[in-house]
Amino acid sequence: MKDFLKDLNKEQREAVKWINGPVLILAGPGSGKTRVLTYKIAYLLSLGVKPYEILALTFTNKAANEMKERAFNLVGDPAKNVTIGTFHSVFAKFLRVEAEKLGYTKNFTIYDQDDSLSLIKNLIKELNFSEDSINAGIVQSKISNAKNALITPDGYLSMADNQFELKVAHIYKAYQTALFQRNAMDFDDLLVKAVELFVNFQDVLEKYQSRFKYILVDEYQDTNRVQYILLKMLAQKHRNLCVIGDDAQSIYSWRGAEIRNILDFKSDFPDCKIFKLEQNYRSTKKILRAADFVIKNNTEQILKNLWTDNNEGEPIVVVECKDERDEAERVVHFIKEEIRKNKYNLRDFVILYRTNAQSRSFEDELRRERLPYTIVGSIAFYKRKEIKDILAYLRLIVNPKDDESFLRIINFPSRGIGEATIDRVRAFASVKGISLFEAISRSNSIPGLTDRARKNLFNFYLLIQKYIDLKDKISAGELSRALIDDLGLIRLYKEDGGPEALQRIENIEELLSAITEFSNENPEKNALEKFLEEVSLISDIDTWENKRDTITLMTLHSAKGLEFPVVFITGLEEGLFPIANAIYNKRELEEERRLFYVGITRAMKKLYLTYAKSRMKAGNVMYQRKSRFLDEIPIELVLYHSAKDEARKAKKKEDFKQGYNFTVGSVVFHEVFGIGRIVDLSGNGDKASAVVDFENFGRKLLLLKYANLKPVKF
């Protein structure tokens, strides 16, 4: 085995080689965190530790897959048998094995956020609460927060101190009962039920405690209460718990993450060994200094001294804009300038924003300029309607108790089953205490149905039952293809014939390819269950790949763990970033500052920071103040562009344009290239030039002195 430790710097090497007892590795941005975790796995294997004795936990499938690949490249086949995955995927696998102890079957369904929200909406109706007075999304968030804090429905009820909280408590209790009846768990249950399992079944806990002698945790600053409890329980026997993270990048308190988990690790494990990875391999000295100056304004932190051997780099560009449209135009202008001067590819740029709504103006401008872009967090493949519909069929086949999947597809494609019929089925199922699928198997006993409705319901029952019977006899790929043929979905969308319908057909074909590929790689009988589990645990960032040459747009929260040569952080205004709710709350303000720090440290070569003097909100123009965070960057690191500077440049361009009687947007005729539209003008006198977008020849840069352009009048 090669001496792979020589690839590490001194601090990284020491952190990798310390394997006994609790270890805290504080890893600044760009300091090789993933490398250290991967090398630690490889080092343990090289010492003779068995692969099944190592557990590595991450927060995204992307990070887990990267770790698996790197570990395999270092030590080969032994790395394949190490348990590496997200908290949710790893504990979902444990729960599959132990499900029956908790009253579930091994084929339980995992509800994603949409499924969960749909169920909550149905329960609000069933409990006769006014949908106008209680928002299902808020209820979902409160239930999730309660679970992450290990608060049960009864516990929530005992703490409720107003009418709204009492309603949430009743919905929470009904929600957990409904999930259990449907043989389903939501994301939070995958961890909460694991705690329940370990608390109530000591033998199960001891089995996993004995098995995992070494536990490694990535991004420890993002752990919540439930994850913290699970780790303490699992590591109790061998105490070889190695956590790696950066308190300065703790940005997920809104989804339950507790920064105290990393800040208090030394208190929880007084004998822990602490290592600090402070050398940054990603950013220039100027970018790193800016980040360091910003984060030192936080009081709740573990001090680190980040440094880099990289070059000084260019100044950080701060751009004052008139409004959000001007901001978008100038961001796109700077992207084009960077490409022209430094030969960057489009994939080298990311535009970051605090809220999803900010993407619109950038999308408009990028479309105008015909620059391709990708939004991380737009409708992901597995969230598209046609894909969710097919997945609902497959989930019902795997788990016939899944009422939410049943309700989604009972009348899709249309089979003449209306709301009144569905209401009678639900009432019958409720009285009998059975699933909706079982209820329609007894459609002759459901009161109030027409003969036609009974027949349609029973035909649907026979369709699903046919595939339940086939599930263990043919591959997941074959079953899915046969099902889609039976449903006639491709034919249905072909008859529609519109561009959206054709896109749906392509998506269905892509899904069939994914299932077939998965079933070829997983020939065992439960491949379909495994595929559905993997799909349910995919996040937006897992499906994003920076391979296509497009500009990336994403929220700052989505950007953690990524890096780009050129980064734009936009909307740096008080009330937007930092967000309004945080301005008067010290703890929340410090988290906003950590989020800014995360954004800054995504940049490798160049960083642009933009803000608008006014911004449209709900149809009204609001005048903005620049973010306090901008004043925390030393002036000597900054190159400032004001709106006035740009106004002077615009006037010069206008003077030039008047001389030639052309403006940006003018339609012109060229003897060789034909008709085109001017998209940019620059220079003056003999050097005056225009970029013209021609209908048949694309964009051309032409010297006006020789181009002999003629205006086209309409």
Summarised one tens digit per residue, pLDDT across range 291-303 is: 999 999 999 889 8
Share of the chain above pLDDT 90, in %: 63
What lies within 8 Å, CB to CB, of 417 at 6+ separation is 410, 411, 453, 456, 457, 460
Name the nearest CA neighbour of 505 among 385, 415, 407: 385
Residue span(s) of the chain under CATH 3.40.50.300 come to 4-99+191-279, 316-380+544-646
Measure the CA–CA gap between 44 and 57, rounded to whole angstroms: 16
Q: Determine the average pLDDT of the residues in 317-339.
A: 94
Write down the architecture of domain 4-99+191-279 according to CATH.
Answer: 3-Layer(aba) Sandwich (3.40)
Each residue of 580-597: pLDDT tens digit?
A: 889 999 999 999 999 999
Residue 144, SS3 per DSSP: helix
What pLDDT is stored for residue 40 in this prediction? Answer: 95
What pLDDT is stored for residue 658 in this prediction? Answer: 46
User: Does residue 191 register a pLDDT over 90?
Assistant: yes
What pLDDT is stored for residue 440 in this prediction? Answer: 93
What lies within 8 Å, CB to CB, of 159 at 6+ separation is 151, 165
Q: Which two tokens stand for residue 385?
A: 């309607």
What lies within 8 Å, CB to CB, of 150 at 6+ separation is 192, 195, 225, 226, 229
Q: Which two tokens stand for residue 10?
A: 């001194």
Q: Which two tokens stand for residue 560?
A: 């953690």
**Has 169 been labeled as part of a binding site?**
no
Measure the CA–CA gap between 276 and 293, rounded to whole angstroms: 19
Q: Any idea what DSSP says for residue 279? A: B
Residue 488, SS3 per DSSP: coil
Residue span(s) of the chain under CATH 1.10.10.160 come to 112-182
User: Does residue 654 register a pLDDT over 60?
Assistant: no
Number of Cβ atoms within 10 Å of the Cβ of 364:
14
Q: Determine the average pLDDT of the residues in 307-312.
A: 96
User: Does residue 655 register a pLDDT over 70?
Assistant: no
Task: Tell me the average pLDDT of the chain.
Answer: 90
- At 198, the amino acid letter reads F
Q: Determine the average pLDDT of the residues in 107-127.
A: 91
User: Does residue 288 register a pLDDT over 90?
Assistant: yes
Query: C-alpha 46: how far from its chain's center?
Result: 34
Measure the CA–CA gap between 501 and 624, rounded to whole angstroms: 43
User: How sure is the predictor about 649, in pLDDT bands with cuts at 50, 70 and 90?
Assistant: low
Residue 673, SS3 per DSSP: coil
Candidates 3.40.50.720, 3.40.50.1820, 3.40.50.300, 3.40.640.10; CATH matching 316-380+544-646: 3.40.50.300
User: How sure is the predictor about 666, in pLDDT bands with cuts at 50, 70 and 90?
Assistant: confident
Global pTM reads: 0.80
Sheet containing strand 638-641, edge to edge, reads 373-375, 551-555, 349-353, 564-569, 603-612, 316-321, 638-641
Each residue of 400-447: pLDDT tens digit?
A: 999 999 999 999 998 889 999 999 999 999 999 999 999 999 988 999
Residue 614, SS3 per DSSP: strand
What pLDDT is stored for residue 469 in this prediction? Answer: 93
Q: Any idea what DSSP says for residue 465? A: H
What pLDDT is stored for residue 312 in this prediction? Answer: 96
User: Does residue 510 register a pLDDT over 70?
Assistant: yes
Task: Cite the beta strand spans of 236-312 per DSSP E.
Answer: 241-245, 273-277
Share of the chain above pLDDT 70, in %: 95
User: Does residue 375 register a pLDDT over 90?
Assistant: no
Q: Determine the average pLDDT of the residues in 233-256.
A: 93
What pLDDT is stored for residue 541 in this prediction? Answer: 67
What pLDDT is stored for residue 9 in this prediction? Answer: 94
What pLDDT is stored for residue 659 in this prediction? Answer: 55
Q: Determine the average pLDDT of the residues in 111-126.
A: 91
> What fold, for 112-182?
Arc Repressor Mutant, subunit A (1.10.10)
User: Does residue 397 register a pLDDT over 90?
Assistant: yes
Q: How far is CA 342 from CA 36, 137, 307, 605, 606, in A?
A: 32, 46, 25, 11, 11
User: Does residue 290 register a pLDDT over 50?
Assistant: yes
Number of Cβ atoms within 10 Å of the Cβ of 438:
14
User: How sure is the predictor about 380, in pLDDT bands with cuts at 50, 70 and 90?
Assistant: low
Q: Determine the average pLDDT of the residues in 234-241.
A: 95
Name the nearest CA neighbour of 608 among 637, 566, 646, 580: 566
- At 66, the amino acid letter reads E
Residue span(s) of the chain under CATH 2.40.10 come to 656-711
**Has 612 been labeled as part of a binding site?**
no
**Has 497 been labeled as part of a binding site?**
no
User: Does residue 648 register a pLDDT over 60?
Assistant: no
**Has 130 been labeled as part of a binding site?**
no
Each residue of 32-71: pLDDT tens digit?
A: 998 999 999 999 999 999 999 999 999 888 888 899 999 9
User: Does residue 651 register a pLDDT over 60?
Assistant: no
User: How sure is the predictor about 711, in pLDDT bands with cuts at 50, 70 and 90?
Assistant: confident
Name the nearest CA neighbour of 551 among 328, 712, 711: 328
- DSSP alpha helix (H) spans, 433-567: 436-441, 451-470, 476-487, 489-496, 499-521, 527-536, 556-559
Q: Determine the average pLDDT of the residues in 634-640.
A: 94
Which residues are known catalytic residues?
33-34, 218-219, 249, 602
Position with higher pLDDT, 398 vs 688: 398
Measure the CA–CA gap between 703 and 707, rounded to whole angstroms: 6
**Has 523 been labeled as part of a binding site?**
no
User: How sure is the predictor about 540, in pLDDT bands with cuts at 50, 70 and 90?
Assistant: low
Q: Determine the average pLDDT of the residues in 132-149.
A: 90
What pLDDT is stored for residue 657 in this prediction? Answer: 46
Alpha-carbon Rg for the chain, nearest whole angstrom, is: 29
> What fold, for 656-711?
Thrombin, subunit H (2.40.10)
**Has 29 been labeled as part of a binding site?**
yes
Q: Is 381-523 a domain of CATH 1.10.486.10?
A: yes
Each residue of 248-275: pLDDT tens digit?
A: 999 998 888 899 999 999 999 999 999 9
Q: Determine the average pLDDT of the residues in 489-515.
A: 83
